[in-house]
């Protein structure tokens, strides 16, 4: 029986891989479980209504918890709750009841969650460690009244592995000293000092606080008034160590809105040292996690050991409330692993999708040493119905475009420009761009490093592209809304060169995770 089933599955995936258009119902169910216009098939989305930032991401007892900014009353931003989902593999998500509701202290804004292993908070019971969520209470009445202290930090805890949450009676635990933007606490255990460290976004800088028990906080230091980008408000920070060549570096992520390199919301990062009190960056250069416009408020999971897994909100405040999705609004990026790499002596972050995503890969089609003179239709016989991963490699990186198209002429173009040494994404003809004038702008990303080779990984879902170049040194994430699914992929060489020899083209359809 088992043998028979795997034969059938093999047959189905072979059909999918070679693009027969005669879909069997089983085949369709592999990638079209939920056919709603623009509904991502391999990205986390709320079942209905609004979502923004991922929150409280914590790994506990074999489950990745994902909470998120959620308004269950509508499709636009509203009074914030923490929605909740869990996954055992970062790819398939189980939706759970809302974890935190607004209360008399306000809406539940962004924050983090930790496993309080040593029960420093005293919330634990009968030897059971509590999960503790640290979040911003945003008081809309105070805001309306023109006060400056309407954002304060509070706690909630769970003793049943995140199923139910109790707000702490002593909330708020960190009171606002009179800073209008005072939010998004990311808390970590700092083992060397045996204390909790809270990294908090405080308007135009980061303020670090320390606590022995998550309830009492003392200010340690500030960072950033004169470093990094300042085209907008600092939000959703993260601080964590990463090792490279046996040395520990500290990474500080600071999201900013607006002020990202291609407009609106984006994430910058600093690399340096943290001594338990102060963060000292190696240099004063501003670096960006992602040059697309749709990776915001991204931070990492806590309690995953040395492995650092990142996820962002695949959207941008410039048009987030207007994107044309019907029953929900907002998605998360693919989960990504962060690592360090030295490029010309500079320590940089590199970002790649987690390896767990390969588990939803169907039979890949690989081709090697393909000569491209002008324009080549990749995955030729393919009827691209499912999301996919595409890998492209060549010995030399030259002008190229990679375009996703459909029969109505919609085009989403990714490319590289030798002259400016930059990658770009052009979504100006990608379908519905009418909802916001900013949406059609060209996005560019400087190429980092000076290697000769082309090395690209592209993940395409129904309404998004995630582009990882040069081993994840340059990343671009963009959403788009085609009138019909993009079912053709073309690779085009620049007019200025003698064509390309693509050393490797690997196309892998991905199974829907819905």
**Which residues contact ligand FRU (rule: CB under 6 A)?**
52-53, 69, 80, 109-110, 136, 183-184, 235-236, 297
Map residue 16 onto helix, strand or coil. helix
CB of 109 to ligand FRU, least distance (A): 3
Using the minimum distance from each CB to ligand FRU, give the nearer residue, 69 or 386: 69
How far is the CA of 306 from the CAs of 90, 246, 301, 316, in angstroms?
17, 12, 11, 30
How far is the CA of 161 from the CAs of 60, 64, 82, 307, in angstroms?
7, 11, 16, 21
Using the minimum distance from each CB to ligand FRU, give the nearer residue, 290 or 455: 290
CB of 239 to ligand FRU, least distance (A): 16
Nearest-angstrom CA–CA distance, 476 and 474: 7
Using the minimum distance from each CB to ligand FRU, give the nearer residue, 109 or 400: 109
Nearest-angstrom CA–CA distance, 378 and 490: 6
Using the minimum distance from each CB to ligand FRU, give the nearer residue, 184 or 461: 184
Map residue 69 onto helix, strand or coil. strand
Using the minimum distance from each CB to ligand FRU, give the nearer residue, 17 or 173: 173
Using the minimum distance from each CB to ligand FRU, give the nearer residue, 235 or 405: 235
CB of 353 to ligand FRU, least distance (A): 22
**CA dihedral for 222, 224, 226, 232, sign (positive or negative):** negative
Nearest-angstrom CA–CA distance, 254 and 200: 10
53 is catalytic: yes
Query: Cβ atoms within 10 A of the Cβ of 311, count?
Result: 26
Q: 461, 509 in Cβ contact below 8 A?
A: no
CB of 236 to ligand FRU, least distance (A): 5
Nearest-angstrom CA–CA distance, 171 and 506: 53
Residue 296's H or E segment, with its range, is strand 296-300
- Return the beta strands (E) in 304-432 as ranges: 308-313, 328-329, 336-343, 346-353, 365-372, 375-378, 388-394, 400-405, 411-417, 422-429
Map residue 141 onto helix, strand or coil. helix
Q: 84, 99 in Cβ contact below 8 A?
A: yes
CB of 443 to ligand FRU, least distance (A): 19
Closest CA to 101 of 126, 71, 77, 142: 71
CB of 58 to ligand FRU, least distance (A): 17
Q: Give the sheet arrangement for strand 166-167, strand by strand.
A: 107-115, 131-138, 151-158, 166-167
For Cα atoms 509, 91, 256, give the angle at the middle one, nearest 5 degrees. 105
CB of 359 to ligand FRU, least distance (A): 30
Q: What's the token pair of residue 68? A: 């998120």
Of 23, 53, 295, 478, which is the active-site residue?
A: 53
Nearest-angstrom CA–CA distance, 462 and 478: 12
Closest CA to 147 of 178, 182, 110, 105: 178
Supply the DSSP symbol for 472.
Answer: G
CB of 49 to ligand FRU, least distance (A): 13
Using the minimum distance from each CB to ligand FRU, give the nearer residue, 52 or 120: 52
Query: Cβ atoms within 10 A of the Cβ of 473, count?
Result: 20
Using the minimum distance from each CB to ligand FRU, give the nearer residue, 313 or 400: 313
Report the catalytic residues.
53
């Amino acid at each position: 029986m088992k043998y028979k089933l795997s034969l059938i599955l093999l047959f189905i995936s072979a059909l999918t891989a070679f693009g027969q258009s005669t879909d069997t119902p089983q085949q369709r169910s592999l990638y079209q479980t939920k056919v709603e216009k623009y509904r991502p098939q391999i990205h986390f989305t709320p079942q209905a209504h609004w979502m923004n930032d991922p929150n409280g991401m914590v790994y506990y007892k074999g489950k990745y918890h994902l909470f998120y900014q959620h308004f269950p009353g509508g499709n636009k931003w509203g009074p914030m709750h923490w929605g909740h989902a869990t996954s055992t593999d970062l790819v398939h998500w189980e939706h759970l009841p809302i974890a935190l509701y607004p209360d008399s202290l306000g809406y539940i804004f962004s924050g983090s969650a930790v496993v309080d292993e040593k029960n420093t908070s005293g919330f634990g019971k009968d030897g059971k460690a509590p999960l503790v969520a640290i979040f911003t209470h945003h008081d809309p009445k105070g805001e309306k009244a023109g006060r400056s202290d309407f954002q304060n930090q509070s706690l909630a805890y769970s003793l049943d592995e995140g199923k139910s949450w109790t707000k702490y009676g002593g909330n708020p635990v960190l009171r606002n000293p009179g800073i209008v933007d005072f939010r998004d606490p990311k808390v970590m255990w700092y083992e060397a000092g045996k204390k909790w460290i809270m990294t908090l976004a405080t308007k135009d800088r980061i303020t670090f606080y320390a606590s022995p028990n998550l309830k009492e906080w003392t200010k340690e230091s500030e960072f950033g008034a004169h470093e990094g980008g300042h085209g907008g408000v600092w939000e959703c920070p993260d601080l964590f160590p990463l090792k490279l060549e046996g040395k520990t570096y500290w990474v500080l992520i600071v999201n900013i809105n607006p002020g990202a390199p291609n407009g609106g919301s984006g994430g910058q990062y600093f690399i340096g040292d943290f001594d338990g009190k102060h963060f000292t960056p190696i240099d004063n250069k501003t670096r960006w996690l992602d040059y697309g416009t749709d990776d915001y408020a991204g931070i990492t999971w806590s309690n995953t050991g040395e492995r650092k897994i990142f996820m962002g909100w695949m959207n941008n405040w410039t048009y987030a409330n207007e994107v044309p999705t019907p029953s929900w609004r907002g998605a998360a990026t693919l989960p990504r692993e962060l690592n360090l790499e030295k490029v010309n002596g500079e320590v940089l972050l590199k970002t790649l999708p987690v390896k767990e995503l390969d588990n939803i890969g169907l039979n890949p089609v690989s081709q090697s040493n393909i000569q491209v003179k002008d324009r080549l239709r990749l995955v030729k016989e393919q009827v691209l119905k499912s999301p996919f991963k595409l890998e492209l490699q060549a010995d030399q990186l030259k002008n190229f475009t990679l375009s996703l198209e459909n029969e109505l002429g919609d085009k989403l173009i990714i490319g590289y420009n030798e002259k400016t040494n930059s990658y770009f994404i052009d979504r100006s003809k990608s379908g519905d761009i009418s909802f916001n004038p900013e949406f059609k702008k060209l996005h560019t990303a400087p190429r980092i490093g000076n290697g000769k080779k082309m090395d690209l990984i592209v993940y395409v879902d129904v309404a998004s592209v995630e582009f990882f170049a040069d081993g994840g040194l340059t990343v671009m994430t963009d959403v788009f809304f085609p009138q019909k699914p993009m079912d053709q992929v073309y690779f085009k060489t620049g007019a200025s060169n003698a064509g390309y020899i693509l050393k490797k083209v690997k196309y892998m359809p991905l199974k829907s995770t819905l």
